[in-house]
Amino acid sequence: MPDLSAYDGIIFDMDGTLVDSMGVHIDAWEIVCQEFNYPFDRQYMHGLGGVPTKRTVEMLNELHGNTHQPELVAERKRQIFVAMNHIPELIAETMAVFNRYRPIMPIGIGTGAERPNAEHLLTHHGLLERLDALVTASDVTHGKPHPETFLMVAQKMGVEPSKCIVFEDTTIGAQAAQSAGMDCILVNDGKIQI
């Protein structure tokens, strides 16, 4: 377990970092890509983890020369994900960090998920009431890799950005943390990379 005593606050990404949900999101995206005639690339879609859904659609449109309405495609992705009715498990290594440091420093989550989805999942696992801050795609103008999500979490926790450590599972999320002036620890397939 990493020693985080040099920091005053911890920020976790949610999907793929604290909750093992990336696989289900990618499966939902595969169906969406088939329905809207986007070529599907599992590795590329995983790399977009943390990017708000509408922005992901905009990126797919740009990449493949499509003009699908981002709101329409995002809503369809949400419907497919909800219909899967999958409650993912917590990731043991990052939850060990959460539980170790929760009594002694503030903890927040900065996620690219929409607020209703994040609150449902975090409530199911008994985490929502244990957070000092939750910032979702519903709360920001600019999603990751823009730093707004993490800066807003730090502000809500009352911690200077430079005194926060972020746990993230994607390069885009790590870029957002770096742009926010925060150190970042990567989580790869549920394992903390130190």
Peptide bond into 70 cis (omega under 30): no
* Helices and strands of the chain, counted as H and E runs: 8, 6
Is residue 177 over pLDDT 80?
yes
Is residue 49 over pLDDT 80?
no
Q: Closest by alpha carbon to 74, among 88, 89, 61, 84?
A: 61
pLDDT band with cut points at 50, 70 and 90 for residue 132: very high
The enclosing H or E element of 75 equals helix 70-84
pLDDT band with cut points at 50, 70 and 90 for residue 114: confident
Task: Specify the CATH number of the domain 9-21+88-193.
Answer: 3.40.50.1000
**Could you give the residue range(s) of every CATH 3.40.50.1000 domain in the chain?**
9-21+88-193
Region for residue 3 given its phi and psi (left: phi exceeds 0; alpha: psi -120 to 50; beta: otherwise): beta
Domain 22-84 in CATH 3.30.420? The answer is: no
| pLDDT score recorded for residue 147 | 97
3-state helix, strand, coil in the chain (%, to 5): 50, 15, 35
| pLDDT score recorded for residue 130 | 97
| pLDDT score recorded for residue 88 | 86
- Outline where DSSP puts E strands in the chain: 9-12, 107-110, 133-135, 164-168, 183-188, 191-193
Is residue 161 over pLDDT 80?
yes
pLDDT band with cut points at 50, 70 and 90 for residue 75: very high
Residue 168, number of CB atoms within 10 A of its CB: 27
**Could you give the residue range(s) of every CATH 1.10.150 domain in the chain?**
22-84
Residues acting as catalytic residues: 13
Mean pLDDT of the chain: 93
- Name which of 79-88, 145-154, 160-169 the model is least confident about: 79-88
pLDDT band with cut points at 50, 70 and 90 for residue 173: very high
3-state secondary structure of 15: strand
The enclosing H or E element of 27 equals helix 22-35
Average pLDDT, integer, range 154-168: 98
Average pLDDT, integer, range 116-132: 93
Is residue 57 over pLDDT 90?
yes
pTM of the model: 0.81
Average pLDDT, integer, range 24-41: 93
How far apart, in whole angstroms, are the C-alpha atoms of residue 162 and residue 83?
40
Is residue 46 over pLDDT 90?
no
| pLDDT score recorded for residue 12 | 98
